[in-house]
Amino acid sequence: MATILKHAVPKSEVTASLDQVRRTVTGVIADIRERGDEAVRAYSEKFDKWSPDSFRLTDEEVEKIIASVPQQVIDDIRFVQDQVRTFARHQLDSLREFEVETLPGVKLGQKHIPVQAAGAYIPGGRYPLTASAHMTIVTAKVAGVPRVVACTPPIHGEIPAATVAAMHLAGADEIWLLGGVQAVAAMSVGTDTMRPVNLMAGPGNAYVAEAKRQLFGEIGIDLFAGPTEILVLADGQADPFVCAVDLLSQAEHGPDSPAVLITTSREVAEKTIAEVERLLPGLPTRDFAGPAWRDHGQVHVVDTLDELYALADEFAFEHVEVLTAEPRLALERMTQYGALFLGEGTCVSFGDKVIGTNHVLPTRGAARYTGGLWVGKYLKTVTYQEVTDTDSQALLGRLCGRAARVELFEGHARSGDVRAARAAGDELPWNTP
């Protein structure tokens, strides 16, 4: 049985907030469908105080912006993108195209085709989230996407130079200084100045996530995303200071970001709570991290590691950090998570910023049915068939006729009959003048 030392706010409060977000997003998308660029500009002025002559940056503007970025920042961006590119290439290498002959002259095949246009949303507004450019754009380019449209908002009316540099170095074909629902909707439905994309990827706030949800089906999306989540799993040997620092590292993403600790040690639980309260006042991002911990932080104490892993799977969180004596046991015991971070030497922030795995991960329980963004998300796995042997054509034609008539699909049956007739001279009693 788990003992809960700290509760989150009731789910009803979260649901009420999401209902308002949905209504707002529905109206913005409908307006952009109706008025196109005019509506996009109006919402950019309203939400970001941003209305340049063109939201799309020219090549000359991009080069000028990059020139303003310190060389160390450029070098670091290149290094991190190399890590992301290397991992994405290994993922691509794990995908196999094949062609097999299942019967004489019956060839079945599989191949991977990249989507032809992808949208990459790079969050901003408050923080210049350069890492999201690596995750969405580099991965798309490794997959072979020929056109990647990247959007990011201005920050307090200023161009986020480091983010623009990251977008360009990642390989974006179009860079637009445009944020929020208006960016997602413009990329998805298209306007007079922006051609629509086929798939949308990237994290964002509740409004961006809801826009992607509402547009899914009209376009593909990477996954349904909500606020960043962290789940720390700790036994009695875990350091409460490390637990607290890592919980706050993700709570600073936003006031609705859940930060949860599950531990087998009541002492670790109590000391972690105390460390969080000690560290919060001195955290520069406490205006986000404080409400996140207050309203969405949880601490659970369980009796055994088996209970710990079972409860962790119930959460099905985005990031799961394992601070136990044998952290790799989580690979065997857990099945529902976005990404695992094993051992004290591996923090969630490594995955967010530098290590090379993708940080666009499932939230709100979506880890029950999907993993995170990866190179395969930008690929369409398609099949093809070819039957060249006449005996096989006859065999399959007759079988198709019988199987289709069981289902009362006479049109399908006749299509099979024709192949048997052409290959083996079967009669077509239904084909009478």
Give catalytic residue positions.
318-319
325 vs 335: CA distance, rounded Å: 20
Gyration radius from the chain CA atoms: 26
3-state secondary structure of 417: helix
- For residue 91, what are its two tokens? 């993922």
Q: Are 358 and 85 in contact (CB under 8 A)?
A: no
**379-387, strands of its sheet edge to edge:** 98-103, 106-114, 379-387
Region label for 217, one of left (φ > 0), alpha (ψ between -120 and 50) or beta (otherwise): left
DSSP state at residue 355: S
Amino acid type, 327:
P
**Tokens 């923090």 belong to residue:** 347
- For residue 202, what are its two tokens? 């990237």
Write the CA distances from 341 to 164, 182, 305, integer angstroms.
29, 35, 17
- Burial grade of 335 (CB within 10 A; 0-12, 13-18, 19 or more): exposed
**174-177, strands of its sheet edge to edge:** 174-177, 147-152, 117-121, 199-201, 220-221
- For residue 1, what are its two tokens? 């049985």
Q: Give me the phi and psi of 344, to 5 degrees please.
A: -60, -25
302: which residues sit within 8 A by CB, 6+ positions away?
1, 2, 3, 262, 263, 264, 308, 311
Angle (CA) 251 257 259, round 5°: 60
Write the CA distances from 35 to 151, 166, 189, 413, integer angstroms.
20, 31, 12, 49
